[in-house]
């Protein structure tokens, strides 16, 4: 069964450094999402992406964040200058589209900012 994959599984970085989290959505899906979950807290929406552009972003998704679909398979989340409070699990999700609304999530990348 096709699944969303994410790399790396764990990323440790120093405050102020740039990180890129990578996702490979399910191949015939058209809608892509990033969510994050700070330890012990709710899963929070960050951004949705369709047709090579951002369709919606949350207040969390400020100028330090960007997303890109550089080729036909990868979907990336870049944090330009990481802060301690960016430490969280980051989940990528994809959705097929048409009348299918369910989203399929990847296993997540644990980002630790020191």
Q: Does 11 bind another protein (CB under 8 A)?
A: no
Give the nearest distance from C-beta 52 to another protein in angstroms: 15
Which residue in 93, 94, 111, 113 binds another protein (CB under 8 A)? 93
| Least gap, CB of 92 to another protein (angstroms) | 8
Q: What's the rounded Cα separation, in Å, for the pair 34 and 75? A: 9
Q: In this structure, what token pair is assigned to residue 107?
A: 């296993």
Nearest-approach distance from CB 88 to another protein, in angstroms:
12
């Amino acid at each position: 069964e096709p699944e969303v994959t994410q790399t790396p599984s764990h990323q440790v970085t120093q405050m102020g450094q740039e990180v890129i989290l990578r996702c490979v959505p399910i191949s015939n899906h058209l809608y892509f999402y990033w969510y994050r979950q700070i330890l012990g807290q709710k899963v929070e929406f960050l951004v949705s992406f369709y047709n090579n552009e951002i369709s919606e972003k949350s207040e969390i998704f400020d100028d330090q964040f960007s997303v890109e679909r550089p080729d036909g398979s990868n979907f990336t989340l870049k944090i330009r200058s990481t802060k301690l409070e960016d430490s969280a699990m980051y989940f990528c999700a994809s959705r097929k589209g048409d009348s299918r609304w369910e989203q399929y999530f990847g296993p997540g990348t644990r980002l630790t900012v020191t």
